[in-house]
Amino acid sequence: MNSNAETRKWKEADVPDQSGRVAIVTGANTGIGYQTAAVLAYSGAHVVLAVRDLAKGNAALSRIVAASPGADVTLQALDLSSLDSVRAAADALRSAYPRIDLLINNAGVMLTPKQVTKDGFELQFGTNHLGHFALTGLLLDHLLPVRGSRVVTVSSMGHRLRAAIHFDDLQWERSYNRMAAYAQSKLANLLFTYELQRRLSARPVKDNGTIAVAAHPGSSNTELTRNLPWFIKPVVDVFGPMLSQSAAMGALPTLRAATDPAVQGGQYYGPAGIGQQRGHPKLVDSSAQSHDEDLQRRLWAVSEELTGVTFPV
């Protein structure tokens, strides 16, 4: 943590040349996802914007190409709140890309009123965790043969707030608390990352070194705050700009997790500032609960059961 790599400020210019790499970024039409996809495209990657709203996705694609006419960007419909959509997107991506270098599980919803997905899952858990769990499982065999491939999942500082995996009521059918439900989904992102990394590390053949890494953006100015409760939103509207950072800065932990050659499997990156609210990215710690291996294994088994997706590791 005191190495030169950690004390200096890692920035967008540190992203290595990505030419020849294929990167899939979920939720890439806005916010952190857009900034991540744009930088990867500017760095030479072929970037797939995997988005629910194709009109917004096309607008994002146009902005990237306008800023960098040589950018190689395509669009893929993906609604993470529908397992049918996840499977259809995975089929299309597998057909189009025999090799995938980066899968960036970025899309998410935050603090939504009580809603369910098309498959009957609580919306935040179903979208933020189960949708990405299924997508990763369906695409992973196209990453495993690729040297240096990575699965990067975006979590949140919210994984510490009232966080637990409510196995007795995963879908919040008895009662609903939007903050606790969000925290459950973000804790699930980390439990998933660490369990996936352990399974990848246990593979008999590890020459290509596919790894699973996590990141969080700190407090960033994005559309995720649109579902804040009415009594909190005015405070955030007034003080948020002073406390938060731009989406471009918020994307740096994800970009570092995805591209820094020094990154190792099972690591977690976030802003270096006070409380990990803002700043340049560094290696950070997650909660003790997120490292509970029994919890990781139990959530993995339940996620396989709920999605019907098993992994090739």
Q: Catalytic site residues? A: 182
Whether the CB-CB separation of 213 and 286 falls below 8 Å is answered with no
Angle between helix axes 293-307 and 132-139 (nearest 10 degrees) is 80
Whether the CB-CB separation of 100 and 139 falls below 8 Å is answered with yes
Count of CA atoms in the C-beta half-sphere (13 A) of 283: 15
Looking at residue 38, its amino acid is A
The residue ranges of DSSP E strands in the chain, in sequence order, are: 22-26, 46-51, 72-77, 102-105, 150-154, 211-215, 268-271, 281-283
- Helix, coil or strand: residue 199: helix
Q: Taking every pair of C-alpha atoms in the chain, what is the biggest distance, in angstroms? A: 54
Spatial distance between the Cα atoms of 107 and 27, rounded to a whole number of angstroms = 4
